[in-house]
């Protein structure tokens, strides 16, 4: 057996025919990382001894050594990465599930305020000053587990978020504090407000807007397929003012009592712009049995356009009439018929 030593290099022993050593003792290098054979095979000593009890120079299984070195390095690196990922997930779940989460959604941005500035809490919408503007919404959740949630902490965090959003008040719209021996939770929701004047009147103190609706009664003459000849014809209407136009709805009734008699009834809905009107009514016309003729009944759909002169108290309307039902279609009643189309004409006076 001979030995060699040169400078700072390790000592290498060379075996001869009579002397044999257990496994290779020189260093193995893999990707710039030097690992001793003893460290590489410490976890797999039993398998190595079964395959090669004695190693001769020139007969060492370098392929086996290479594979074992690579697998050990890869396995250790993979385990390290998996451990870090699992640990990060566990810490994240633990932290975010047990800590209160408060968020603010801002619709209109304003300059932020100091975190320690006061924030006014309102429980009812009627207690808010009229000089208040909604600038966003707030939401908060907290899963406290087996302990009771601290509402003071959640409101303190909400106050900080509101100040950073530029608000100075909160209207609570949702508050749920569920106390459970297994899993307690707290939920908070509300509107973030910016109140410019806390001394302004409250919303509940503002009187309701005045009723601009007006009930008007008209009487006059009706002629056509809707009512036959009706004198008098009465109508009661309720007008409602809007920003750019008026709407109205009502009921009308007519009667005729000369020679023969009948009656009519209809309901309508319409709009008015300046002096012009447009409405549609569904009318019923009934002629009782008299003389040798039996009774007659029909329903009609009657759109009309009109001109309404408020100062003159006059209202003129005209439009076609369409039959929806007739119990005796063969009966010849041609009141208001021009050509093949039935029409209605009305002249009404405000009473």
Question: How much is the pLDDT for 41?
Answer: 43
| pLDDT tier, 38 (very low <50, low <70, confident <90, very high otherwise) | very low
More confident residue, 313 or 213: 313
Whether residue 293 is predicted with pLDDT greater than 90 in this model: the reply is no
Question: How much is the pLDDT for 28?
Answer: 46
Question: How much is the pLDDT for 45?
Answer: 45
| pLDDT tier, 180 (very low <50, low <70, confident <90, very high otherwise) | confident
Strands 120-122 and 169-178 turn out to be parallel
According to CATH, what is the number of the domain 101-205?
3.30.110.70
Whether residue 47 is predicted with pLDDT greater than 90 in this model: the reply is no
Question: How much is the pLDDT for 22?
Answer: 52
Ranges of each domain in the chain: 21-97, 101-205, 214-350
Whether residue 57 is predicted with pLDDT greater than 60 in this model: the reply is no
* DSSP-based three-state secondary structure for 340: coil
Please name which of 225, 229, 216 lies closest in space to residue 347, comparing C-alpha atoms. Answer: 229
According to CATH, what is the number of the domain 214-350?
2.40.160
State the pTM of this model.
0.44
Question: How much is the pLDDT for 219?
Answer: 94
Q: Which two tokens stand for residue 309?
A: 């002169």
Region 156-185: what's the mean pLDDT? 89
Region 51-72: what's the mean pLDDT? 47
138: alpha, beta or left? (left if phi > 0; alpha if psi -120 to 50): beta
CA atoms of 12 and 3, how far apart (whole Å): 6
More confident residue, 40 or 260: 260
Whether residue 184 is predicted with pLDDT greater than 60 in this model: the reply is yes
Q: Which two tokens stand for residue 14?
A: 């060379």
Question: How much is the pLDDT for 11?
Answer: 56
Task: Map tokens 């932290």 to a residue.
Answer: 95
14-23, 29-38, 141-150, 211-220, range with the lowest pLDDT:
29-38
pLDDT averaged over the chain? 78
Whether residue 126 is predicted with pLDDT greater than 60 in this model: the reply is yes
Strand partners for 120? 169
More confident residue, 97 or 326: 326
Whether residue 5 is predicted with pLDDT greater than 70 in this model: the reply is no
Question: How much is the pLDDT for 299?
Answer: 93
| pLDDT tier, 279 (very low <50, low <70, confident <90, very high otherwise) | very high
Whether residue 247 is predicted with pLDDT greater than 60 in this model: the reply is yes
Percent over 70 (pLDDT), the chain: 71
More confident residue, 291 or 297: 297
Write the CA distances from 181 to 46, 79, 145, 224, integer angstroms: 54, 38, 8, 78
Region 255-267: what's the mean pLDDT? 86
Whether residue 6 is predicted with pLDDT greater than 90 in this model: the reply is no
């Amino acid at each position: 057996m001979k030995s060699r030593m040169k400078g700072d290099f390790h000592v290498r022993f060379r075996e001869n025919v009579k002397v044999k050593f257990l496994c290779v003792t020189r260093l193995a290098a893999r990707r710039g990382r030097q690992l001793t054979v003893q460290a590489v095979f410490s976890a797999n000593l039993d398998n190595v001894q079964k395959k090669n009890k004695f190693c001769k120079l020139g007969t060492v299984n370098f392929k086996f050594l290479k594979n074992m070195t690579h697998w050990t390095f890869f396995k250790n690196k993979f385990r390290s990465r998996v451990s870090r990922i699992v640990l990060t997930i566990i810490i994240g779940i633990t932290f975010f599930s047990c800590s209160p989460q408060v968020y603010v959604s801002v619709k209109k941005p304003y300059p932020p305020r100091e975190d320690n500035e006061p924030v006014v809490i309102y429980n009812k919408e009627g207690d808010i000053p009229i000089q208040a503007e909604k600038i966003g919404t707030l939401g908060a959740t907290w899963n406290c587990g087996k302990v009771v949630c601290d509402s003071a902490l959640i409101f303190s965090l909400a106050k900080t978020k509101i100040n950073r959003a530029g608000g100075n008040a909160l209207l609570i719209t949702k508050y749920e504090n569920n106390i459970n021996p297994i899993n307690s939770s707290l939920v908070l929701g509300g509107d973030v407000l910016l109140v410019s004047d806390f001394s302004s009147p409250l919303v509940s103190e503002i009187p309701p807007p005045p009723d601009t609706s007006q009930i008007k009664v008209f009487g006059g003459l009706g002629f056509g397929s809707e009512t036959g000849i009706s004198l008098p014809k009465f109508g009661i209407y309720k007008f409602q003012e809007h920003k750019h136009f008026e709407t109205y709805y009502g009921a009308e009734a007519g009667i005729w009592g000369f020679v023969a008699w009948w009656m009519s009834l209809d309901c309508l809905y319409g709009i008015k712009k300046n002096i012009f009107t447009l409405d549609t009514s569904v009318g019923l016309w009934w002629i009782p049995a008299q003389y040798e003729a039996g009774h007659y009944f029909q329903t009609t759909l009657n759109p009309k356009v009109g001109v309404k002169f408020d100062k003159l108290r006059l209202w003129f309307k005209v439009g076609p009439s369409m039959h929806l039902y007739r119990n005796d279609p063969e009966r010849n009643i041609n009141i208001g018929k021009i050509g093949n189309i039935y029409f209605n004409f009305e002249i009404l006076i405000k009473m």
